[in-house]
């Protein structure tokens, strides 16, 4: 028997239907104190897209196993190098925390980079991967850019300036999380189940998913962006690094959502992540804490 769709009239008042119409937000954002950083981050994404797009599907792509048994390619390193070059030229006093080429402590301003989030997809030819660019200022995430050229999409946000989907400030749509407020009407995405087993929480997770409307595995950055744009309502992962989350946090929160670790502590500092539309956050934590 098929489950009831949240398009049914019984919950029309709480089911959010995203509407996208690209327009310019430059006039609205130009006064934001991090406007210049946002425009720089978007230009960094352009530089990254050139590298990643050229290497995706390349027959001579070089792949190695890192000590944690995750893959790294020549494209990962080349992309991070390109991003670091832009930072060195434009923000020479800022520190950089990157997945492949060094994790510096913050100097007050720190760029947090994942050159290719979804490297396993990248290696196998699955077009769901992205470059993640976050800016941390005084331990607060103030800018986030997620660029996925083979999904033909980009998401970005700036502190107190909203969250957007589009290639740049002049061609974007404002995005917002859903209004779903009951788990039985909620859609959730996961990356895998293995990490939950290692954490000892897989049974709790399965109990949660048994009480949802829908479960899918979009994975990696994409599930968090789908939360931010209101297409799904919950995304969670039990094992993450700072570079996996830093760019995501401003986008989810500026879209009206909530991003914490699995204990409910705000931000990307806990080594794991839970993003929701906010209305469902406490209910999800009741299962996963």
pLDDT, tens digit, 9 for 90 and up, residues 167-199: 999 999 999 999 999 999 999 999 888 889 888
Together in a domain, 83 and 32: yes
Q: What is the pLDDT of residue 10?
A: 44
Which of 140, 174, 208 delimits the end of a domain?
174
Look at residue 5 and tell me if it is in a domain: no
The full DSSP string for the chain is -PPPPTTSGGGTTT--------B--HHHHTTSTTHHHHHHHHHHHHHHHHHHHHHTT-TT--EEE-TTS-EEEHHHHHHHHHHHHHHHHH-TT-EEEETTTEEPPPSSEEEEEEEEETHHHHHHT-S--EEEEEEEETTEEEEEEEEETTTTEEEEEETTTEEEEEEETTEEEE-------SGGG-EEEES-SHHHHHHT-HHHHHHHHTTSSEEE---HHHHHHHHHTTS-SEEEES---HHHHTTHHHHHHHTT-EEE-TTS-BSS-SSSEEEE-STTHHHHHHHH-
Look at residue 151 and tell me if it is in a domain: yes
- What's the mean per-residue pLDDT of the chain? 92
Domain count, the chain: 2
For residue 59, name the pLDDT band (cuts at 50, 70, 90).
confident
Together in a domain, 81 and 132: yes
Look at residue 13 and tell me if it is in a domain: no
For residue 18, name the pLDDT band (cuts at 50, 70, 90).
low
For residue 275, name the pLDDT band (cuts at 50, 70, 90).
very high
Q: What is the pLDDT of residue 8?
A: 41
Together in a domain, 167 and 181: no
Together in a domain, 121 and 196: no
Together in a domain, 32 and 169: yes
Q: Is 11 a residue whose pLDDT tops 50?
A: no
Q: Is 12 a residue whose pLDDT tops 80?
A: no
Q: What is the pLDDT of residue 20?
A: 66
In angstroms, the Cα distances linking 86 to 39, 79, 99, 108, 134 are: 12, 11, 17, 19, 14
Percentage, residues of the chain above pLDDT 70:
92
Taking residues 231-250, report their average pLDDT: 97
In this structure, are residues 184 and 213 in contact, taking their beta carbons and an 8 Å threshold? yes
Determine how many CB atoms are found less than 10 A away from the CB of residue 274. Answer: 24
Q: What is the pLDDT of residue 120?
A: 92
Q: Is 49 a residue whose pLDDT tops 60?
A: yes
CATH number at residue 223: 3.40.190.80
Could you give the CA distance from residue 76 to residue 115 in angstroms, rounded to a whole number? 5
Could you give the CA distance from residue 241 to residue 98 in angstroms, rounded to a whole number? 10
Which of 144, 174, 204 delimits the end of a domain?
174
11 annotated to bind ligand = no
Residue-number span of the structural domain to which 236 is assigned: 177-288
Together in a domain, 112 and 187: no
Bridge-based pairing state of the strands 102-103 and 162-168: unpaired
In this structure, are residues 154 and 166 in contact, taking their beta carbons and an 8 Å threshold? yes
Together in a domain, 48 and 126: yes
Together in a domain, 164 and 232: no
Look at residue 184 and tell me if it is in a domain: yes
Q: What is the pLDDT of residue 198?
A: 86
206 annotated to bind ligand = no
CATH number at residue 70: 3.30.540.10
Together in a domain, 159 and 191: no
Q: Is 4 a residue whose pLDDT tops 70?
A: no
Together in a domain, 73 and 163: yes
244 annotated to bind ligand = yes
Q: Is 243 a residue whose pLDDT tops 90?
A: yes
Together in a domain, 164 and 181: no
Together in a domain, 93 and 203: no
Which of 123, 140, 174 delimits the end of a domain?
174
117 annotated to bind ligand = yes
Q: What is the pLDDT of residue 192?
A: 86
């Amino acid at each position: 028997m098929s489950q009831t769709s949240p398009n049914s009239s019984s919950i029309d008042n709480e089911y959010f239907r995203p509407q996208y119409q690209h327009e310019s937000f430059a006039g609205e954002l130009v006064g934001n104190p991090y406007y210049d950083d946002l425009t720089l981050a978007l230009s960094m994404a352009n530089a990254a897209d050139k590298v990643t797009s050229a290497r995706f599907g390349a027959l001579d792509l070089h792949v190695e196993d890192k000590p944690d048994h995750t893959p790294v390619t020549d494209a990962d390193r080349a992309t991070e190098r390109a991003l670091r070059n832009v930072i060195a030229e434009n923000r020479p006093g800022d520190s950089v925390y990157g997945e492949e080429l060094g994790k510096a402590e913050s100097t007050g301003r720190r760029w947090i980079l994942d050159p290719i989030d979804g490297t396993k997809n990248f290696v196998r030819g699955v077009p769901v991967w992205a470059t993640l660019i976050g800016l941390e200022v005084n331990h607060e995430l103030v800018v986030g850019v997620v660029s996925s050229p083979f999904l033909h999409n980009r998401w970005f946000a700036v502190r107190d300036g909203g969250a957007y989907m589009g290639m740049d400030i002049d061609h974007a749509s404002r995005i917002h999380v859903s209004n779903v407020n009951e788990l039985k009407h909620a859609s959730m995405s996961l990356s895998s189940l293995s990490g939950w087993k290692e954490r000892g929480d897989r049974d709790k997770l399965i109990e949660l998913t048994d009480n949802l409307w829908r479960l899918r595995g979009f994975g990696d950055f994409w599930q968090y962006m789908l939360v931010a744009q209101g297409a799904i309502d919950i995304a969670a992962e039990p094992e993450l690094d700072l570079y996996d989350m830093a760019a995501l946090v401003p986008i989810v929160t500026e879209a009206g959502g909530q991003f914490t670790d699995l204990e409910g502590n705000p931000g990307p500092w806990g080594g794991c992540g839970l993003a929701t539309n906010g209305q469902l956050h406490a209910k999800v934590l009741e299962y996963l804490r």
